[in-house]
Amino acid sequence: MYVGIAGVLGALCRYAVGLAVDPVLSAALFPAATLLCNYSGSFALGWLSGGGAARLSLSDNGRAAVASGFVGSYTTFSAFSAETIHLLQAGEGGKALAYVLASLWGGLALAWIGGRLAGRKTSGGGVV
């Protein structure tokens, strides 16, 4: 039940990001809302799995709700795939390649950074 509730919240946040991101930016570069969601979701999941879940004292159910429910519905590989195909079909091979590379390397980097930040010791509530 917790995973389902968190999934609904993640989907609503994903939708809100799509509405909030400037459509001109997406048209000029590549699908910015999906990239933003996938970047922030990669960071969040890296942080959670790198020790953040323990720092928050999340139970197994809480960890599943946040990781699988919220982050799973907030991030979107299917939209990334469809948007890449759309760019290719529109003759935007360079944009498609840039989008794929930015998504892959940016997501990996942010997951790594999140994990590294979560693993640091804290003192007085801040990261040391």
- Number of domains into which the chain is organized: 1
CA distance 105 to 62: 28
Q: 127 in a domain, yes or no?
A: no
| Domain annotation covers residue 106 | yes
Q: How confident is the model at residue 122 (pLDDT cuts 50, 70, 90)?
A: very low
Give the mean pLDDT of the chain. Answer: 87
Please give the full DSSP string across 5-73, using - where no structure is assigned. Answer: HHHHHHHHHHHHHHHHS-HHHHHHSS-HHHHHHHHHHHHHHHHIIIIIHHHTT--HHHHHIIIIIIIHH
Domain membership of residue 104 (yes or no) is: yes
pLDDT in tens, 14-46: 999 988 887 767 777 778 899 999 999 999 999
Per-residue pLDDT for 85 more than 90? Answer: yes
Model pLDDT for residues 93-121, shown as the tens digit of each residue: 999 999 999 999 999 999 999 999 998 64
Reported as half-sphere exposure (CB side, CA atoms, 13 A), residue 25 has a value of 10
Count of all residues that appear for the chain in the document: 128
**Structural domain for 35, as ranges:** 2-122
Asked, for residue 94, whether it belongs to a domain, the answer is: yes
Question: CB–CB of 28/95 below 8 Å?
Answer: no
pLDDT (0 to 100) of residue 120? 64
* Residue 128 forms part of a structural domain: no
